[in-house]
Copies of this chain bind each other. A is one copy, B any other.
Amino acid sequence: MIPDATPSGDISKDRLRLWLKLLKAQSAIEAEIRRRLREDSATTLPRFDVMSALFRHSKGLKMSQISGLLKVSNGNVTGIVDRLVEDGQVIRVAVPGDRRAQLARLTPAGITAFERLAQAHEGWLNTMLGGIDEADIAALAAQLDNITDHLEADHAN
């Protein structure tokens, strides 16, 4: 474990400002995604995230698995899945060998709807991140990996 240190002067303030800029960019992008999902696609980010998790796990997920993946409460996930079931985009299926558990799974209509949303989402991000060229994307991605890896390595110690 590296001891915390506040180096004197500028580098420390620069790192603090970098965090505030990271937060600001993330928050601006997320706000725009929420707005686009609402206005262009009549849906919400939590609903998009639940569909995305189910899309990546095509065999289905328990409510507790969805909330674990998304870090949202079980109650909220249940409400979102209820509405997706009403809309015919998700079905609940029994878990073999566990009569009380149920998996949520995308229906074919849900898969089609999610693919359309995911394509729109990718298009919005292309517009939002259009000011960054390919070389800078690679450099920025490497720095962000660096931050995440550094944090994960510190936690592993």
Interface residues of A (CB under 8 A from B): 2-7, 11-19, 21-26, 28-30, 32, 119-132, 134, 136-141, 143-152, 154
Contacts and interface: CB of A to CB of B under 8 A. Distances in A.
A154 B132 CA distance: 15
B122 A151 contact: no
Nearest to A30: B23
User: Per DSSP, are chain A's interface residues mostly helix, strand or loop, or mixed?
Assistant: helix
Query: How many chain copies?
Result: 2
Contact of A147 (B12, B18, B128): B128
B15 A125 contact: yes
A121 to B, nearest CB: 8
Contacts of A30: 23
B32 A151 contact: yes
Nearest to A127: B4
A122 to B, nearest CB: 5
A125 B14 CA distance: 10
B16 A122 contact: yes
A137 B134 CA distance: 19
Contacts of A138: 14
A5 B123 contact: yes
Contacts of A146: 131-132
A154 to B, nearest CB: 8
